[in-house]
Homo-oligomer: A and B are copies of this chain.
Amino acid sequence: TQRYNNEIYKTANMPGVAVGLAWTYVGGDILFIETALSDGGKGELKLTGNLGNVMKESATTALSYLQSNAKKYNIEPETFNKKNIHIHIPEGATPKDGPSAGITMLTSLASAFTGRKVKSYLAMTGEITLRGQVLPVGGIKEKVLAAKRAGIREIIMCYLNEKDVNEIDAEFIKGVHFHYVKTMQHVLEIALT
């Protein structure tokens, strides 16, 4: 978990990159979720990084939400049919699955489509629904501690996960600010600069 120090984190501060929190077989970890768009496409979605089916479905759901709400986020609707979309999560040697990267995938996509960078030192975890809600997820304690170790300063999650944060010893997470949200719109208001 100390592989990504702040130095690497800073080298690629560009639109399309968001930080998620995962709970893998080695404990909590942070995940960089990267989205690249390319021209001459037809809205095809490529997903790489050793992702399981549930995680792939999260990406599909995030994309459908963004497409259905394009105008709200000042994205030209036709863009979705003109670009090819590639979402990649590095560290291909580690299998990754589960729905908890959903809101991070949405943030990565929204950042790429709007050209607005994601706020620095921000991470997030939460399942996404097609109608724009953020659902609670598991493994909060391990995820939050991993985020703290990696230098993260703000974390977004579902308001129903607040009780899980309250169970963590306060001195372990000193200096980390938490955002408890209900909707994806709220996530993007916090995350996009």
Footprint of B on A, CB under 8 Å?
A: 3, 8, 11-12, 14, 16-17, 32, 34-40, 43, 46, 48-50, 53-54, 57-58, 60-61, 64-65, 67-68, 77-78, 80-81, 86, 88, 90-93, 98-99, 102, 127, 129-133, 135-136, 138, 160, 182-183
Number of this chain's copies in the assembly equals: 6
Known: A36-B65, A61-B86. 12 other contacts (CB 8 A): A16-B131, A40-B43, A40-B78, A40-B81, A46-B64, A50-B53, A50-B57, A54-B93, A58-B92, A88-B130, A92-B127, A93-B99
Q: Which of B46, B49, B183 contacts A11 (CB 8 A)?
A: B183
Chain B contacts for A91, CB-based, 8 A: 99, 127, 135
Chain B contacts for A61, CB-based, 8 A: 48, 86, 88
B60/A131 in contact, CB under 8 A: no
Instruction: State A136–B8 Cα separation when bound (angstroms).
Output: 11
Chain B contacts for A40, CB-based, 8 A: 43, 77-78, 80-81
Given that A38-B67, A57-B50 are known contacts, is A129 also in contact with B90, CB under 8 Å in the complex?
yes
A38/B68 in contact, CB under 8 A: yes
Instruction: State A40–B64 Cα separation when bound (angstroms).
Output: 12
Chain B contacts for A92, CB-based, 8 A: 54, 57-58, 98-99, 102, 127
Q: Which of B46, B50, B68 contacts A36 (CB 8 A)?
A: B68
